[in-house]
């Protein structure tokens, strides 16, 4: 049993859908105040209602994670509404599939900015609020794709997700003087709106290649994030946890067939 995070305030980028919404729901269920961030306001009211329905308080703020001023506005909104900031879950990300032959420099930059630069910008925006508190928790959503595995069409994505882990190591050292820890969750294939966009064939073959024989649930990632956020994880920083149902374990198709 982890010490309660009731009344603590968390920003969750990409919190209106998929993994971000799962993280936010796990935190809201513990009584946290969650600030859901996405570019479009459309999903906001429904996501806010869901968080309130499980016992948390919630607001939605529309912002693009590639825009530092917009992220500073999110932090200001969190402080104005809930009196401070305790937790940042830098989760928003995109995964368009494009092979190198078809990829333009702009395609590359768009993914790197949305997935990697946003980690830096989100932490930079949150840091003054953490300094006021004298403590803080950051959880990045990275991936197995890039740091551990590869998949055709995701060179830019893999680079962005591996890059987040490079950022993590030095950020952990720099943030330690403010009482802030930063860690990363590395999801395998988690059933989200974004993943569903890759088609049923992708979902079926992926599930068959996972030892636990199912895609992950968004709350599988939320529970891992909750551990990093907890008081009990206070001596852990700069670290990662793979949450993939064993997907990165098999050496071959034969190894999967043996299960």
Residue 138 in the binding site for ligand NAP (CB under 6 A): no
Residue 189 in the binding site for ligand NAP (CB under 6 A): yes
Applying CB under 6 A, among 8, 17, 60, 156 the residue interacting with ligand NAP is: 17
Q: Is 235 a catalytic residue?
A: no
Closest listed residue to residue 26, CA positions, set 230, 164, 172: 230
Q: For ligand NAP, give the closer residue by CB, 47 or 172.
A: 47
Residue 92 in the binding site for ligand NAP (CB under 6 A): yes
Tell me which of 157, 178, 202, 235 is the catalytic residue.
Answer: 157
Residues making up the chain, counted from first to last: 259
Residue 190 in the binding site for ligand NAP (CB under 6 A): yes
The interface with ligand NAP within residues 19-78 (CB under 6 A) comprises 19-20, 37-40, 64-66
Shortest Å distance, C-beta 167 to ligand NAP: 13
Q: How many residues bind ligand NAP (CB under 6 A)?
A: 30
Applying CB under 6 A, among 114, 119, 181, 237 the residue interacting with ligand NAP is: 114
Q: Determine the Cα–Cα distance for residues 118 and 107; give it in Å rounded to an integer.
A: 16
Catalytic residue numbers read 157
Binding site for ligand NAP (CB under 6 A): 13-14, 16-20, 37-40, 64-66, 91-95, 114-115, 141, 143, 187, 189-190, 192-195
């Amino acid at each position: 049993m982890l010490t309660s995070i009731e009344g603590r305030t968390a920003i969750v980028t990409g919190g209106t859908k998929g993994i971000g919404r799962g993280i936010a729901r796990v935190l809201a269920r513990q009584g946290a105040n969650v600030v859901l961030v996405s570019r479009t306001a459309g999903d906001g009211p429904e996501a806010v209602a869901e968080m309130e329905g499980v016992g948390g308080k919630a607001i939605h703020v529309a912002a693009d994670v590639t825009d530092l001023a917009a992220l500073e506005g999110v932090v200001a909104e969190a402080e104005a509404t809930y009196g401070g900031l305790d937790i940042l879950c830098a989760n928003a990300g995109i995964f368009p599939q494009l092979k190198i032959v078809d990829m333009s420099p702009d395609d590359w930059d768009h993914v790197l900015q949305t997935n990697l630069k946003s980690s830096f910008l989100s932490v930079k925006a949150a840091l003054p609020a953490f300094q006021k508190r004298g403590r803080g928790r950051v959880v990045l959503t990275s991936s197995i794709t890039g740091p551990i595995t590869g998949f055709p069409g995701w060179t830019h994505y893999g680079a962005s997700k591996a890059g987040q882990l490079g950022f993590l190591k030095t950020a952990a050292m720099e943030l330690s003087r403010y009482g802030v820890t930063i860690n990363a969750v590395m999801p395998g294939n988690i059933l989200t709106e974004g993943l569903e966009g890759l088609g049923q064939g992708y979902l079926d073959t992926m599930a068959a290649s996972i030892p636990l024989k199912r895609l992950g649930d968004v709350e599988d990632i939320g529970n891992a994030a909750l551990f990093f956020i907890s008081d009990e994880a206070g001596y852990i920083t700069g670290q990662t946890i793979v949450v993939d149902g064993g997907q990165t374990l098999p050496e071959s198709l034969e190894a999967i067939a043996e299960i």
